[in-house]
Amino acid sequence: MSRHKANVALDPKYLMVAVDENDEPVGYGGITLATPDICYIGNFIVREDWRGKGIGQLISQALIERAGDRNIAMDAVSYMGDFYERNGFKFSTSNVAYNTVCVNEAMKKSVQSEFKCRDLTEDLWPMVTKYDRQVYPTLDRERILRAWFCAEGSRAMVAFRVNQVVGYGSIHEKPHQEYGLKNVFADNESVVEAILRELFKEVPEGRLAHFEKDEGKPMPKYLEHSVSRFDFTGIRMYNKYPLETIGDKMW
């Protein structure tokens, strides 16, 4: 629901639904107008008893038609990469691994650090968007980040060294008393730890938190003994051109 709420905030008409002759939903797909030039495809699924009947292809065609001449971005599981490439998504950038961590008491404990963390408030937005530009130099993502960070059930944290932003990240509630981490960007592993310790403070012990990590980055030592990894990875793909990213701060 957090993902849906964020996408609705960005684009109220993002969701397209396929229905049968009784007007019952059999599948849906989402395409969000993230910027004037870029659409993002996500939340794509066909009901199990209707799979293999071309419904997915119909939804996919409808989404691409809605995008028009805009560049389309999507996050695909890596084993489907060849399929999407054959269907026009020929450019790719970041690869991520999907992970889950069980929050324990040690992860919630405050430790001495050179970094100070603050909840994201309105006065911090100019500094956060400036920092974000170090990862996405050609894209103003403030509108996107506001949709994610300001959604109900979400909390965002900004890390500082003295008065300089050195990272940010967010956590949101998921179904089944689980949590999701989103958009953790940081100068280094120590900043990641400082941000996560603050975000985990309000998470009850024993709860699961899901996150994606750039495959080029090491797992923070703070997490490595409590994390489990899914047996598949993801890849960001585009149909017209890859979006420039600078990965040194992307965790």
My answer on whether 135 and 176 are in the same domain is yes
The domain boundary residue, chosen from 69, 86, 105: 69
Domain contains 108 = yes
My answer on whether 122 and 202 are in the same domain is yes
Residue 224: predicted pLDDT: 86
My answer on whether 61 and 101 are in the same domain is no
Distance between CA atoms of residues 136 and 223, nearest Å: 26
Answer for the pair 185, 250: CB distance below 8 angstroms, yes or no. Answer: yes
Per-residue model confidence as pLDDT tens for the chain (251 residues): 788 888 999 999 999 999 999 999 999 999 999 999 999 998 889 999 999 999 998 998 999 999 999 999 999 999 989 988 998 999 999 899 999 999 999 999 989 999 999 999 999 999 999 999 999 999 999 999 999 999 888 999 999 999 999 999 999 999 899 999 998 999 999 999 999 999 999 999 999 999 999 998 999 999 988 899 998 899 999 999 999 899 899 99
Domain contains 75 = no
Domain contains 76 = no
Contacts 24+ apart (CB under 8 A), 138-144: 138/243, 138/244, 139/35, 139/38, 139/243, 140/35, 143/10, 143/34, 143/35, 144/10, 144/34, 144/35
* Pairing mode of beta strands 178-186, 208-214: parallel
My answer on whether 50 and 110 are in the same domain is no
My answer on whether 63 and 102 are in the same domain is no
Number of compact structural domains in the chain: 2
Domain that holds residue 61: 2-69
Answer for the pair 102, 203: CB distance below 8 angstroms, yes or no. Answer: no
My answer on whether 104 and 222 are in the same domain is yes
Residue 152 φ then ψ, to 5° = -55, 135
Domain contains 74 = no
> Tens of pLDDT along 21-46?
999 999 999 999 999 999 999 888 99
My answer on whether 44 and 155 are in the same domain is no
> Tens of pLDDT along 71-93?
999 999 999 899 889 989 999 99
pTM beyond 0.75, yes or no? yes
My answer on whether 52 and 108 are in the same domain is no
Domain contains 89 = no
Distance between CA atoms of residues 108 and 246, nearest Å: 30
Residue 191 φ then ψ, to 5° = -70, -40
My answer on whether 60 and 101 are in the same domain is no
Q: What is the CATH number of the domain that holds 27?
A: 3.40.630.30
My answer on whether 51 and 110 are in the same domain is no
The domain boundary residue, chosen from 32, 54, 69: 69
Domain contains 81 = no
Two tokens, residue 95 = 């690869």
My answer on whether 54 and 111 are in the same domain is no
My answer on whether 174 and 222 are in the same domain is yes
Domain contains 84 = no
Answer for the pair 40, 74: CB distance below 8 angstroms, yes or no. Answer: yes
Residue (of 96, 83, 93, 87) closest to 232 by Cα position: 96
Please list, in sequence order, all residues whose beta carbon lies within 8 angstroms of the beta carbon of residue 145, skipping any fewer than 6 positions away.
Answer: 128, 129, 132, 183
